[in-house]
Structure 1
Amino acid sequence: MADNSLHEAELKLFVESVRNYFKTTTHQEPQITSAYLATGDVEGHDFNGVVTFSGSYKGHVTVSMPPQLLRELLLLQKENDLSEGNLLDAVGEIANTLAGNARQGLGAGLDISVPAKLRGHAGLRARVRKHPCVITLRWNHQPALVVVDMERRA
């Protein structure tokens, strides 16, 4: 049976993408607090951006952030509209940016959906992998996480 799981180098692309996003946007690198394989539902935050992959890979990447972190990011970008809709747009845009950055390392055969934006911190369920990779981080004392639930197509 072929091993379709992501390798460490592919997962590192997402960690670096997260680092680069914050460094570029805020000039302050996030602290990556852990990266692990989840064994059950992952407890997320209130605002979630989900990008679906197809083509050479299948699966999802979810960016999950609390509202305060998103407000701080928007204010740093000189955005004064801190409505729930704008917070959802922001987390969706972050997920889209991370996916786009990952595509550079994973190849042009990777198709990326428009981000789905979800409100609520219900457990983030694995849909593709039995154990998705969870990257937890802190930025400006705020927690966030990125769940990489994808695999190579056979």
Structure 2
Amino acid sequence: MSDLNETEIRVFIDAITHYFDQLTQEAATVRGAFLDDNGGSVPVYDYSGQIAVSGQFRGTITVSAPRALIRHLLLAMSEQDQSDANLRDTVGELANTLAGNARKHFGSDMQISVPRTAAGAIGKGASRKRPYVIMISWKTYSASLVVDIERLD
């Protein structure tokens, strides 16, 4: 098993900044990226979406964002439905989009699941002892992207 390298982690950073830029014409910025040493020091927001990864990779990609950020995304899509179910669907679609962009980079060796969503934290089956955490800002909001993936050799 091997870790992703810096260039491969950059795929996720580029995907999330591009997502916001394409949807809202205002890119998200990376506030910080780090390895989670404490096994839980990642902020969890109102909604989380997670994609499981399999094939030649194992792990998860998880996005967590506050309700207000997701509502702004819905408005950017001209979506008026602000229900809890639609907020969860939207954060799940965000996670799915990021995983889909990663799959384009890594190829068919990376298989992705349908999104799982939750209000608040979503359970994680840690693949790595220290997952990659990417903290982003968009407008006045913060969100987290946790890349907990390893390559199976």
Query: Would you call these one fold, judging by a TM-score over 0.5?
Result: yes
Q: Distance in 2 between matches of 1:83 and 1:92?
A: 14
- Tell me if the contact between 2:20 and 2:26 (Cα under 8 Å) persists in the aligned partners: yes
Residue identity in the other structure for 1:52 = A
- What is the CA-CA distance between 1:148 and the residue it aligns to? 0.1
Q: How does 1:98-117 map to 2 (within 5 A)?
A: 98-117=98-117
In the superposition, the TM-score normalised over structure 1's length comes to 0.94
Q: Which residue of 1 aligns with 2:83?
A: 83
Q: Provide the aligned length of Structure 1 versus Structure 2.
A: 151
Deviations 1:105-128 (A, max 9, x none): 111211000000111247x65610
* Pairing partner for 1:17 from 4, 7, 15: 15
Q: Which runs of 5+ in 2 are unaligned?
A: none
- What is the CA-CA distance between 1:23 and the residue it aligns to? 0.9
In the superposition, the TM-score normalised over structure 2's length comes to 0.94
Residue identity in the other structure for 1:45 = Y
Q: Which residue of 2 aligns with 1:153?
A: 152
- Tell me if the contact between 1:49 and 1:95 (Cα under 8 Å) persists in the aligned partners: yes
Query: Percent identity of the aligned residues?
Result: 40
Q: Which runs of 5+ in 1 are unaligned?
A: none
- What is the CA-CA distance between 1:93 and the residue it aligns to? 0.3
Deviations 1:102-151 (A, max 9, x none): 111111211000000111247x6561000000000110111101000010
Worse overlay, 104-113 or 130-139: 104-113
- Tell me if the contact between 1:126 and 1:132 (Cα under 8 Å) persists in the aligned partners: no
- Tell me if the contact between 1:43 and 1:121 (Cα under 8 Å) persists in the aligned partners: no
- Tell me if the contact between 1:47 and 1:121 (Cα under 8 Å) persists in the aligned partners: yes
Residue identity in the other structure for 2:144 = L
Q: SS state of the match for residue 5, structure 1?
A: coil
Residue identity in the other structure for 1:15 = I
Q: Which residue of 2 aligns with 1:139?
A: 138
Q: Which residue of 1 aligns with 2:4?
A: 6
Q: Which residue of 1 aligns with 2:65?
A: 65
Q: Distance in 1 between matches of 2:150 and 2:121?
A: 24
Residue identity in the other structure for 1:99 = A
Runs of 4+ in 1 over 2 A off after TM superposition: none
- Tell me if the contact between 1:22 and 1:28 (Cα under 8 Å) persists in the aligned partners: yes
Worse overlay, 100-109 or 87-96: 100-109
Q: Distance in 1 between matches of 2:48 and 2:131?
A: 16
CA RMSD of aligned residues (A): 1.3
Q: Distance in 2 between matches of 1:34 and 1:69?
A: 18
- Tell me if the contact between 2:46 and 2:66 (Cα under 8 Å) persists in the aligned partners: yes
Q: How does 1:31-46 map to 2 (within 5 A)?
A: 31-39=29-37, 40-41=39-40, 42-46=42-46
